[in-house]
Chains A and B, each alone.
Chain A
């Protein structure tokens, strides 16, 4: 096969979007935000990649690791929080993610591995997440091992 002087950024935006739409939005943000390339950074900041953020892998049924979670909470989420409308999170990381920054347009929340005896604390009047649940969230989905409940 002959060598070609063609690189990733020689692809038109239409194809770059085609590639990135095959990734979960969280993967796009993790890999491209902060890449220090104006064009890719601009693409990653497109609202389509941050309206819905799923921190649970649909394919491998895994959650992000601590290193990745730190990167999201310390840098990525504050950069794109204004776009976020729907968050899908694991119950053990919900507080860290929701308190990482302000989400002015967040209205839908889905919590995986919800356990009544542990997770109910987030819905009490003393909870640090009280304001978000009372004033912002219009749709709440709770998923435990056996069933899914929508509120």
Chain B
């Protein structure tokens, strides 16, 4: 993986290599990464931006991803760039009619390399959620699947009490407190998502699945 620390000092344009055209991408904290087409193809976001922008000297900005997350993502994509696309899975007993080939209804099939990769991201540090949101933003379905399967494996078999402790979920029962029928108008939906007073997470979002 090639990186340059100072975007403003970049004077060379995107370069060609034996493997194809190299593209520059930039994290929201200014770090630039040079990636080849095999990496670009795995990210629908980067691919779309590179097609639209017709990039020359200018790195593609990725305002939603910081360098400490983008760097490992580039490593992941470099490792997987020669993978074949997975075959569709036909499961007679599958009870999810909306599955796609990247998201079979199981989470025990993460390969060893991906298991070691995802271990660097944890729940207590919040970095596991960072990598999941970055994979979602960048449209890297394989990495998103690994992240989501990792969370699913942590949840499986746990009681609701254990899940609440593991993920530091706030006590916010339906029909009580801010969710009570007589709650002050205008404050509903703004309860903090965690018990941490310093947390800066967003307010609960409307459920797109039920709209």
**A interface residues (Cβ-Cβ under 8 A, vs B):** 1-15, 17-25, 27, 30-43, 46, 48, 51-52, 54, 58-59, 71, 86, 88
Contact = CB atoms under 8 A, between A and B. Distances in A.
A5 B205 contact: no
B interface, size bucket: 35 or more
A5 B198 contact: yes
Interface in B119-173: 120-123, 125-127, 129-130, 132-133, 136, 144, 148-149, 151-152, 155-160, 162-164, 167-173
Contact of A40 (B144, B169, B205): B169
9 contacts: A4-B129, A9-B201, A10-B133, A10-B202, A12-B205, A24-B105, A31-B160, A41-B174, A86-B95
B184 interface: no
Contacts of A18: 103, 144, 148
B163 A32 contact: yes
Given A8-B169, A27-B156, A46-B209, A2 B193 contact: no
Contacts of A37: 164, 169-173
- By secondary structure, the B interface counts as loop
- Which 10 A-B pairs give the minimum distances between C-beta atoms? A4-B126, A9-B193, A52-B95, A35-B160, A10-B201, A6-B126, A22-B152, A8-B167, A36-B173, A6-B129
Contacts of A15: 132-133, 136, 144, 148
Contacts of A30: 157, 159-160
A38 B173 CA distance: 5
B199 interface: yes
A48 B97 CA distance: 9
B188 to A, nearest CB: 10
Contacts of B106: 22, 58-59
Contacts of B193: 7, 9-10, 39
B6 interface: no
B194 interface: yes
B181 to A, nearest CB: 13
Given A22-B149, A38-B172, A46-B210, A7 B204 contact: no
B44 to A, nearest CB: 15
B118 to A, nearest CB: 12
Contacts of B152: 19-20, 22-23
Interface string B60-75: 0000001010000000
Contacts of B136: 14-15
Which of B159, B160, B179, B209 has the most chain A CB atoms closer than 10 A to its own CB?
B160
Contacts of A6: 126-127, 129-130, 133, 201
A63 to B, nearest CB: 13
Contact of B208 (A2, A3, A13, A19): A13
A31 B129 contact: no
